[in-house]
Every structure is written in structure tokens, then in C-alpha cells.
Structure 1
């Protein structure tokens, strides 16, 4: 994608060769499969929180990419407020992964984080070449995002302990596909050498 200017209207964001995407984890889980998602999503939320802490220590930008859940008049802060304060099933996950003031957010209308969103422009200004994808669901929104990232020539990491689908089999199948076809690195988050990613330009 041609970049006309390095200036983002006077407010250029961070610059880093790698970005961490947290996909659909600010989620009320108030859907039919929600009870099945709760426990495994809580498990990956803990891993994502640890990975985020490591990333922030290295000034790796964190981007929350979230579905609008049919709330077309909402923004990300309203979705967050709903998950934190309306007694929903996903509240403990939102509490664990509450965004920090310096994090970025993108609201998406469909499965892919790239489709009809500002993500591609944001990543261009961040100068990111490598993406770490985390969140739910491994075989839907994470997979669609990974596909779109791959065709845009991003290097991909999809740590196996930071994504989940409706069943362990679906998660395993999605991870195997992303590893085989999209050349994604799927080792656990603790095995990702973030320091090396930051310095590999």
C-alpha cells in the first residue's frame, strides 16, 4: 500500500515493527455458545494478559479489535462499558483485559479485523510488519483476520495458548491451517521472543 505521508494529521502514533492484536475478547459472551466459551476464554485471557504486559514493556503497540455485536451506534468504549457493568457472562474477561489508556481500538462490522475498518491504515502508520493475533474465535474472526494479514504480507504469530474456538478440535484445526497455509508461528506465547521481534527490522 502506497504511503503518501508519515504525518497522521499531526498526531502520529507509535512506531514499532510488531503489533499485538486482541480480537473480540471484550465480549459479553451472551450468545447460545457463550457458556461453552467462558472457561476456555478465561484461560486464554490470562495468557493474553501476560503477553500484553510483556509487549507493553517493550513499547509494542496493543490493538483491541472488537465486533460491534449489532450495536451500530456504539463505539468501543460503550462496548467495554457494557461488558464491565451490565452483569454479563464475559465480565471477568473484560476486567482482566481492560484496555490501558495508550492502547488502540478498532470496531469491526464483520469477521476480519481488516474488513471495512481503520486497521490497515493504523498498521501502516505504526510501520508494523509482524502481527501477533490473539482472541476468539480461532476458526472465525482470528482465522479471517489471519487470512487478510497474510495476503498483505504480514508475518504472523498465532500463539496456541492465546486463541480458542467453540471446541478444542475446532481450535486445533484452525491453528493447523494457519500454520500450514498462512505460515503462522503457533508456539505458545511464552516461547515468542518479543525482544528479537522488536529488533528484527
Structure 2
């Protein structure tokens, strides 16, 4: 796809949804992810139907620098909680970037991609609210993107930290916090 023919003022970022759930915080996280799968799947569907919204999956490579996006998705589908992953599996034409740390911007081509798409507004979804979503929001804010975080599409490990992260994004990063049904322009 010629990127210049696909300008998108808004980008929906799907962060770290391809998880094998075999880590110490997996159980509380998975319980919270279960609540966001349906609204997130619907938001992705609605976004994919529009020409003015770019959907970008950004997922941790979990230290495997040879992993292709398909490897990351396959490992998650074959992990401990495939029911949380299957509804979100992207098609082969999807934009998919791998990351190595908390922020979707850190050491990735995300900012370059968004600049090429003329994106001004990023909608952050996925996991973990108090970690990767929060750090991505901060990095987006300092790059002058308008930040939107629908609370019904982000999952946390710790209830208090998840709530605090949303408050920080709203107060310190001027993030909008609409429900997913009202998050698209």
C-alpha cells in the first residue's frame, strides 16, 4: 500500500494485545482483558471501515528480535488464554509494529508512520493501562499528538494503578477519556 494515498488524521493503536498470559501478573490482567475484548473488537471493526482512521497494532516482541508479527500472534493464540486473543487477530494487510519496551514509540517506527499518515490524534487501546498505555500516552503527548484513551478498551493489572494512570493521562497529558462508542471523530 502506498502510504501517501492513505492519509489518516486519526490512528487507533492496539497495544500489546497478543500476550501468552504465562507471566506472574497474567491472572489479574487476563480477568481485566476479558472485559475489553468485545468493545475493542468493535472499535477495531468500526475503524477498519473508515478511510480516515489508521489501525496500527504495536506489540512487544518479548525479547525475540527475530520474531515476525505472525510469530507473536501465533504464540499468543497458542498461549494460556486464546479466547482473549482470537477475536483481535489482524488480517495479513494490517499495520503491525514490534516494540521492545513500554512505550509504543520507543525504538519503533511509529512516529515516522504517523507523520507520514498526517496523523494528529491517537486513540490508545490495549494493555497494560498503568504501564504500556500510560507511557505511550506520555510519548504521544510530548510529540504533540492529541491523545484519546477509551477506558472500556484498556486493561490493567492493578485497579488502583489503572485508575491513577487514567487520571494522570487526563490531567497531565490532556487525554480525552470517552467510551469506545464515542471515541472516533
What's the TM-score once normalised by structure 2's chain length?
0.94
Counterpart contact for 2:103–2:132, Cα < 8 Å: yes
**Structure 1 residue 103: Cα displacement:** 1.8
- Answer with 1 or 2: which has the greater Rg: 1
Tell me how large the CA RMSD over aligned residues is: 1.4
Q: How many residues align?
A: 183
Quick check: 183-192 or 123-132, which moved more? 183-192
Match of 1:30 among 4, 22, 41: 22
Match of 1:55 among 39, 47, 55: 47
Structure 2: which 5+ runs fail to align?
none
Alignment of 1:99-138 (within 5 A): 99-138=90-129
Could you tell me how far apart the structure 2 residues matched to 1:69 and 1:28 are?
A: 10
SS of 1:89's equivalent in the other structure is: coil
Match of 2:67 among 60, 66, 74: 74
SS of 1:140's equivalent in the other structure is: helix
Q: Which runs of 4+ in 1 moved over 4 A?
A: none
Could you tell me how far apart the structure 2 residues matched to 1:69 and 1:29 are?
A: 12
**Structure 1 residue 170: Cα displacement:** 1.4
Counterpart contact for 1:18–1:129, Cα < 8 Å: yes
Counterpart contact for 2:11–2:122, Cα < 8 Å: yes
Could you tell me how far apart the structure 2 residues matched to 1:187 and 1:109 are?
A: 29
Structure 1: which 5+ runs fail to align?
1-9
Counterpart contact for 1:26–1:90, Cα < 8 Å: no
**Structure 1 residue 74: Cα displacement:** 0.8
Counterpart contact for 1:38–1:89, Cα < 8 Å: no
Quick check: 164-173 or 132-141, which moved more? 164-173
Alignment of 1:132-147 (within 5 A): 132-147=123-138
